[in-house]
Every structure is written in structure tokens, then in C-alpha cells.
Amino acid sequence: MRINTYYFPALLAALFLLPASVQSQRTQRFKAGIIAGLTASQIDGDVSAGYHKVGWQAGLRGIARLKTKQEASIEILYTQRGCRNEPKTIPFYSTTLDYIEIPVQWHYADWLVDEGDDADNFYRVQLNLGVTYGRLMGYKDKYDDGYGIAEALPDLNENSFCFLAGVTFYATKHLGITARWHRAVNRLYSPKDSGGFANSLNEHFLAFQAMYVF
């Protein structure tokens, strides 16, 4: 297993989120939230189809209100991606990829819920579009038997760039549920760069999040 630690992205996100949390109590132009959820991943090129690899996701979000229905946000997330065999199909393999991610998004809201006080009003549905940068921090091959993408693991691309699209449903002003789709625009692995594994690898994954906004 390989582990790398890079603190600079985390520091940048923390510097963004802390002022946002303070400002939220005064103007509501800036807000902050806590995120926790699950991912369902697959990797094109691993000779298996379907979003079978389940992982965890957790982190923080800083939010800036742009207009009445529009917001921008930045997050810092710990995210598990990876791949595994289709259920009840051999050979068995399961690879977990650990990422630190920084998604940047634009949000458009609709379906106003009028609580009678402007300070308590909120929009029920939100469209989310954006990009995310991910840094591969480590990996784990569960069975360590050489199947799946095991041969490619030492030569994986540590940098990941994804497009994302999703929708959030707010049950209350503070509690939202998000479903989000991500597609990498660069390869996780290319055989021309190392030659150890025959197929190119490209990631895509789903994220299902619960978020509490302060």
C-alpha cells in the first residue's frame, strides 16, 4: 500500500471555510456545511461493469450566495473510489482508492418554500454542476491475488480531474440530500506510460450525500 500526504490543498480549503462559517452568522451571504455519504464506483478497463465498489465520503463545504437562486461552493472531501468484481462472478477482486478531493460547483435553486419570514425561506431543489480535483493518497487491494487492476496499482495517476453533475433536495433549510455523478476527464492509468497492465483505466462514480448547512 502506498500513502502520500499533501497538506496544502487542505489548508487552502480550511482558510476558505473558516471565514465563511463566521460570516454566515452575520450576513447569510456565506455559509458552511458538513457532508457525509457513500460512493458507488467503477473503472473502465477493469473487465467488470457496473457501480459495484461502495465506499465512504465525508468532508466540509463552504458556500457563497451569488444571486437569489444561485450559489457557488467549494468542498474538501475524503472519498473512497475503486473497483470490484461483479457480484457472484469470479475472479474476486476489490480495490479501494483513497482520495482527497476539492470540488468547485455552481448551484441553481428552485421551488421556494415560504416560511413567512424571509430569513427562514429556502429553496427545496438545487441543480449542481462543477469540476473536482482529486489527489490519490493511497490504495488497498483487498485480496492481493493479482486480479482486477492489481498490476496497474504502482503506476496509477495520482491526479484526477472530473466533471460532475447532480441534484440536491432540501428537506429543511439546513438538511439536504444530494445525488451526484462524476466522470474523470483524464486517465487513471495508461499502458503506454508503464506497460505493466494491458488496459487504459478511466474512473466514474456516483456520490450520495447528506449535508447539514449551518
Indicate the domain borders of the chain. Answer: 8-213
Cβ contacts of 183 within 8 Å, gap of 6 or more? 162, 163, 164, 203, 204
pLDDT score recorded for residue 49: 87
Confidence bin at 5 (pLDDT 50/70/90): very low
**How many residues are recorded in the chain?**
214
What nine digits make up the cell of 120?
427562514
Phi, psi angles (nearest 5°) of residue 113: -105, 110
Confidence bin at 117 (pLDDT 50/70/90): confident
Give per-residue pLDDT as tens, 169-209. 999 999 999 999 999 999 999 998 776 899 999 999 999 99
Q: State pTM to two decimals.
A: 0.86
Give per-residue pLDDT as tens, 33-79. 999 999 999 999 998 889 999 999 999 999 999 999 999 999 999 99
- The 3-state DSSP class for residue 193 equals helix
Are the C-beta atoms of residues 173 and 135 closer than 8 Å to each other?
no
pLDDT score recorded for residue 26: 44
pLDDT score recorded for residue 115: 82
Between CA 16 and CA 102 the distance in angstroms is 12
pLDDT score recorded for residue 45: 94
Question: In the chain, helix, strand, coil percent, each to 5?
Answer: 15, 55, 30
Are the C-beta atoms of residues 87 and 49 closer than 8 Å to each other?
no
pLDDT score recorded for residue 11: 45
CB atoms within 10 A of CB 2: 12
Give per-residue pLDDT as tens, 127-180. 999 999 999 999 999 998 889 999 999 999 999 999 999 999 999 999 999 999
Q: Which fold has domain 8-213?
A: Porin (2.40.160)
pLDDT score recorded for residue 79: 98
